[in-house]
Each structure stands twice: as structure tokens, then as C-alpha cells.
Amino acid sequence: MSKIMLANQKLGLTAEAGLFYSLASIAASEMPGDQALQQCLDIVCEYVEWPVGHLYVDASDGSGELAPATVWHLDDPERFEAFRTVTERTRFPPGVGLPGRVLQSGEPAWIPDVQQDENFPRNKAAGEIGVRGAFAIPIKAGSQIVAVLEFFADRQEEPNERVLNVMGMVAHQFSRILERKRSEEALRDAESRLRQLMEAIPIGVFVLDSSGKPTYANPVAKELLGRGIIADTATDQLGEVYQATIAGTDQPYPADRMPIVRALAGERLTVDDLEVTRPGGKTLALEVWGSPVYDSAGRVQYAMAAFIDITERKRAEDALRETEEMYRAVVDNANDAMVINVGAQVVFVNHAYVALFGLEDEAQAVGLSVYQFSHPEDYDLVRERILARERGEPVPSRFEHRIIRQDGNVRTVETSSVSITFRGQPAWLRVLRDVTERKRAEEEIRVLNQELEQRVIELESSMKELDAFSYSVSHDLRAPLRAMDGFSRILAEEHAPQLVPEAQHYLQLVRDNAQQMGRLIDDLLMFSRLGRQQLRLQTVALADLVKQALGDLQSEREERRIEISVGDLPTCRADPALLRQVYINLIGNALKYTRKNQTAVIEVDCQQIDGEHVYRIKDNGAGFDMRYADKLFGVFQRLHRSEDYEGTGVGLAIAQRIIHRHGGRIWAEAEINKGATFYFTLSGGPANGTTR
């Protein structure tokens, strides 16, 4: 006898009452369904004293067949093993086999000896398994048969009153248990479906139970938080556990602001300023919705939080805001006025616009017509251009017209416009630049240029006149000189015998002076021309120039002891004819003033001083007194007596003028009787050539 039976006996219950009592208490208990079925089956089999009990249940696949459950009572599992094996592979449609006829009839069925029964498909096995007597009862839920209980004995059994009497009650209790089992399964199904949903949605879900303890976090939540549930976390510890902070700060997120905590109190709340830091250091920004889940009695059963990662969204928002701020700064600080108009109405202006039109603030401009400040004379022009643009015709991108400011001042502006979209509407962005000053300057320049051209024409013509004048003057001045020189010569040569030495001497003086005058005229003419002549700049090899100059001075060099050394001379940009004249003058001077030397030593070279080429002509001749150096280059200025050294006093002035025309400088150093050194540069500044 089982423990239960014994206990029931002790209670003074009859076997039957005890059976009822046990089954009922099991059915009413919270024991899991499968366990309850098993226990009840054991109790029933013990009561009816049959060795085998088994449960068939509705296949629940729409076939209407019964499928074997794995709930067995077997007194001797080994003995009935084969039967069990067969049974567990056998399904019964209505009417077939023992379970099938019960299913069909809805009434219990008794088979005294299954081996003699035609409708017992398990017969073959039955013989071997030694099952003889059998009966089965239907288990109903409402009017539907949901299961069939079957019992088997190992000997023939005739229908037994005692057994049949209790079967109704047994069926009822089993029905209760099965129903409970079905509810359990439905609940489990529902829970499973919910769980799958939670795990599939791309939103983090975190659930607290009614006492505030974390009970569930879906995979997305675990990934976002970087942590799973730590059970028994108190609500005020949530922030610390999950490293929740207020966005943009290090401050911990207060528990009483968390949506999930507030959901416990029955509130629905959304926040987007919560950040969590995952283990590993990465911080995410979250948007969190909190919502309570109520039970059937209306009490908060769970607090649920759903959240998503908005880090990227925030980054994009920040970037956008920065860009907008930047553009706004650009527009506001632009020097040029900017205005946006939709149709003919102004919708936006920047600071520069306000300043340009002499308004007080932007608000004054918005809403005005674009023609508001147009100069009446330019109104048609402006209008035509706007219309042309709207028609889509090509117009020049820049356009000048006049405006009248608020204070009545007229300004000229240069506009360029481009079509844009402003708050969804087609609009025009125009940039206006105040060009009033520029136009004024342009006009002045134009007038000045005209005057300048006029002056240039006048200058050119007076230069031409001067040229003609000085040419003809010098020509006419030469004629009497020719006569003076010529006849003096004839006198001296052909009438010498008649002339006393004194007379001859005077004649010679007349000749000398006439010739001197001729040279003066030549030099003055050249000097004058140099001031007006255009420089013909070329790349010049100075070494060649010096050679030519020395050639021209050949007559001065004959029958003298002269040592001329010419150093490395670079190429440079100069007027070759004029620069040659400079060398002729300077080297000529060197030759002249060394005439009294035994040996004249003349050096011609070029040095680099402070990055410039400095050209040098040095002699060891008479030199001059440095105290009067400033007179060296004056016209007709001489530092020596003409009887000692002849000259017109124009040679150096000519050289200086040429050098100055080239933009260079010329100067000299000397010591009386020790010699003189003349230096010059061309177009002052860093070396203008390369040394050859």
C-alpha cells in the first residue's frame, strides 16, 4: 500500500473516500501538471489493483487522433516493456483500438480479454506482453474528449462495479489536471512568444519586477549596456551599476529621474539625456521610454524600459548645429549685404544689409518689397532683370544699379543673385556690394588717364620740337666754328713765313678755342639728347663693351706705357651704346689723367658688394681733392686746370646721366697724385646679371 493510502487509512477514510480525497487535493494543488498526472495515475492503479495504467491525449494537430502520452503506471516495467514500446508508437483514430472506440463513443469501454478482441491492434504485442483485461475511460473538457485513460490487467477481467463506480470521479479529476496543464502550456507558449519578440526587436528592453529588482534584459539591452542583469540590484543602485550619467556631464543620473524607476510608480516617461558607459569605456547616448505593466488587478506588475542608441543621431545633430552656427556667423559677419526674397518680398537680411540701407535692425527689412529702396531711374532695369531671371533667361551674373538708403543717400551697388530654396519655397539669394566708392575712383582714374594721355601727346610733340631745335642749333653753331678753324689753319699753314711767332701763336689759340667750342657743342648736344632718349635695354656682355671702348680710345693709347687689366665682367641689362659711352668717358679720363705717369695702370672690373654688382675703373693718375668730390659730376665743372688737362667738363655729367637713366648710382674716391677710382651700379638692387 502506498504512503498516501496508508495516510488515508489513518485518517479513517474509506478506500474510496481516500481515493477521492487524494485525487482532488492533487488536482487542486499547484503541482506541475505532468507530475500531478503521474501521481494520480499511480493512485488510481493502486486502488483498482491493475498493473498497467496509461494516458492517451488528443494529438492536437487537427488529425482528431489520439497520441500516446508518456504518462505510465507500470507495476513491473520490465515485464511490460514491449507493450510500452508498441503503445508509444501507436496512434489511434476514432473507432480504432481501445482508445479509439472510447473516443468515438464518448463512453468507457471494457475489454475482458484483449487477445480475444477484434479491435485491438496492439494484440500481437499483447500476447507477448501478457496483457489480457483492459478498460478505458474518456477524459472530457466540456463536451470534448481531450484524453483517454486506459488500464490493463495481466488476466482476464470481467467488468467490475467497484472500478466502474469511481471512474466518473477519476475522469473529472484528470480533466481538471489536464485543463490546468493546458493553461500552463498556453501560458508557457505566450511567454515564449513574448520572449522571442523581446529578443527579435532592435530595441533594448529592460524589465524590473514590482519590487524593483531587474528580472529581464533582452540581448540588445545587454549589448547596449555592456552588461546583463545583476539580480538584486536596488533601484538606487541602477545608475551606478550601469554607469548612467547625465549627457554631456560626469554627473550620475538620478534614480528618481530614470523612466524605469518612475514606471514602477505607474508613470510613463521619455528622456533623451541619459548616457551609459560600457565596461571598456565606450559611452553611448540613449533615448529611454519607461512604462508600467499592469496585472489583471491593475497593480504595477513590472516596470519596463525600452531604449535605443542615439549617439550617432546626437552627433549628427551637433554637427548640423555647428554647421548652421558657422554659416550664420559667416553670413552675419560678411562685409557684403545679403538678402533672401521669396517672390518680391524680403524674408531674410544680414547685418551688412541693415548697415548698407541705413536701417535700424533686420526686422525693419523683412517683409518689405525688393523694390523698396530702388532708385527710381534704375527701377525698370532692376525689374526687368528680376523678371528675366524668373523666366529662366540667362542674365549676366553681376549687375550694377543705384539704391536710395533710408536716409536718402544714393549708393551704387553691385548685385549677384542665385536661386535657392528657402524653407521649402523657391527663393533668390542676392549679395549686394557697395561699389559707390569704387565707381568714384574708377571715374577719377578715367579722367586722370585722359588728362595723362593728353599730356603725353603734348610732351611727345614738345620733345620732337626740342630735338629738331637742338639739332638745328648745334648744326648752325658749328658753321662759324668751321670758318674760324679753317681759315686760321690756312693762315698758319700757307702764310707762315709772313707771320711772326707771336702771330702764329695767336692763330693757334684761335684754332684751339674753335675746336674746343666744337667739342663743347658735341658734348652739350649729347648731354641734352641723353635726357630725352629712350633707353634700349638689352642683355649686354660688358666685356665686349669695354673692348669696344678701348678700341675707340686707341689714339689715346698710342706711344704710351699703359697696363690695362680687365677683370671678369658679368652680363647685364643695359643700353649698349650708352653704356659704351660711359666706359669711353671713364676710361678716357683714366687715360687722360695718367698721361704724366711713367706707366699708367688702369683696372676695369666688377665686384659684388652687399648683393649688388659694383663696376670699377681705377687709375694711378693725378686723382683729385676729395673735398670737392660733390662737384665732380656737375656740368662744366672741372677740378683741374685746363692747361694741365683739357676737357669740356661735360664728360662725367654725361656718364652720370646715363647711369641714372639706368637706375644706378655713380661715385668716386681719389687721392691727389695717387689716382682715382670710379664706381657705378646699374638699376640699383641685387645683382642683375651672372658673371661670365
List of residues contacting other proteins (CB under 8 A): 471, 474-475, 478-480, 482-483, 485-487, 490, 522
Alpha-carbon torsion angle 93, 95, 97, 101, nearest 10: 120
Distance (Å, rounded) from C-alpha 388 to C-alpha 395?
7
Comparing C-alpha atoms, which of 614, 632, 636, 634 is closest to residue 623? 632
Cα separations in angstroms, 375 against 256, 360, 372, 402, 467: 66, 20, 9, 5, 56
Residue 583 CB, shortest distance to other proteins, in Å, is: 19
Residue 692 CB, shortest distance to other proteins, in Å, is: 31
Residue 491 CB, shortest distance to other proteins, in Å, is: 11
Residue 515 CB, shortest distance to other proteins, in Å, is: 11
Nearer to other proteins, 485 or 575 (CB): 485
Distance (Å, rounded) from C-alpha 651 to C-alpha 522?
11
Distance (Å, rounded) from C-alpha 106 to C-alpha 108?
7
Residue 633 CB, shortest distance to other proteins, in Å, is: 25
Nearer to other proteins, 156 or 508 (CB): 508
Nearer to other proteins, 479 or 500 (CB): 479
Comparing C-alpha atoms, which of 180, 179, 171, 185 is closest to residue 138? 171
Compute the half-sphere exposure of residue 93: CA atoms within 13 Å on the CB side of its CA: 2
Question: In what order do the strands lie in the sheet containing 269-277?
Answer: 214-217, 204-209, 300-309, 283-294, 269-277, 244-246
Comparing C-alpha atoms, which of 132, 138, 139, 192 is closest to residue 156? 132
List % helix, strand, coil for the chain (3-state, nearest 5): 45, 25, 30
The H-or-E segment that residue 69 falls in is strand 66-74
Nearer to other proteins, 467 or 605 (CB): 467
Cα separations in angstroms, 101 against 59, 107, 255: 16, 8, 65
Nearer to other proteins, 456 or 490 (CB): 490
Nearer to other proteins, 287 or 485 (CB): 485
Residue 477 CB, shortest distance to other proteins, in Å, is: 10
Task: For cell 643695359, name the residue.
Answer: 574
Residue 484 CB, shortest distance to other proteins, in Å, is: 9
Cell numbers placing 596: 704724366
Residue 413 CB, shortest distance to other proteins, in Å, is: 58
Per the CB < 8 A criterion, the answer to whether 283 and 276 are in contact is yes
Which residues does residue 600 pair with via DSSP β-bridges, in sequence order? 562
Nearer to other proteins, 470 or 571 (CB): 470
Beta strands in 343-409 (DSSP E): 345-349, 398-404
Comparing C-alpha atoms, which of 349, 537, 311 is closest to residue 430? 349
Residue 522 CB, shortest distance to other proteins, in Å, is: 8
Per the CB < 8 A criterion, the answer to whether 382 and 373 are in contact is no
Compute the half-sphere exposure of residue 406: CA atoms within 13 Å on the CB side of its CA: 12
Nearer to other proteins, 367 or 480 (CB): 480
Nearer to other proteins, 248 or 486 (CB): 486
Nearer to other proteins, 15 or 491 (CB): 491
Residue 521 CB, shortest distance to other proteins, in Å, is: 10
Residue 476 CB, shortest distance to other proteins, in Å, is: 8
Nearer to other proteins, 494 or 559 (CB): 494
Three-state DSSP class for 277? strand
Residue 544 CB, shortest distance to other proteins, in Å, is: 21
Cell numbers placing 241: 551599476
Nearer to other proteins, 457 or 483 (CB): 483
Which long-range contacts link 336-339 to residues 24+ away (Cβ below 8 Å)?
336/431, 336/432, 336/433, 337/413, 337/431, 337/432, 337/433, 337/434, 338/429, 338/430, 338/431, 338/432, 339/365, 339/370, 339/429, 339/430, 339/432
N-to-C CA span, the chain: 135
Which long-range contacts link 118-121 to residues 24+ away (Cβ below 8 Å)?
119/95, 121/90, 121/92, 121/96, 121/97
Per the CB < 8 A criterion, the answer to whether 19 and 9 are in contact is no
Nearer to other proteins, 526 or 542 (CB): 526
Residue 592 CB, shortest distance to other proteins, in Å, is: 22
| Residue 105 CA from chain centroid, whole number | 82
Residue 662 CB, shortest distance to other proteins, in Å, is: 23
Residue 478 CB, shortest distance to other proteins, in Å, is: 5
Residue 483 CB, shortest distance to other proteins, in Å, is: 3
Per the CB < 8 A criterion, the answer to whether 227 and 240 are in contact is no
Distance (Å, rounded) from C-alpha 523 to C-alpha 588?
14
Cα separations in angstroms, 376 against 287, 381, 401: 59, 10, 10
Per the CB < 8 A criterion, the answer to whether 52 and 7 are in contact is no
Nearer to other proteins, 398 or 482 (CB): 482
Nearer to other proteins, 475 or 692 (CB): 475
Residue 482 CB, shortest distance to other proteins, in Å, is: 5
Distance (Å, rounded) from C-alpha 665 to C-alpha 493?
48
Nearer to other proteins, 136 or 514 (CB): 514
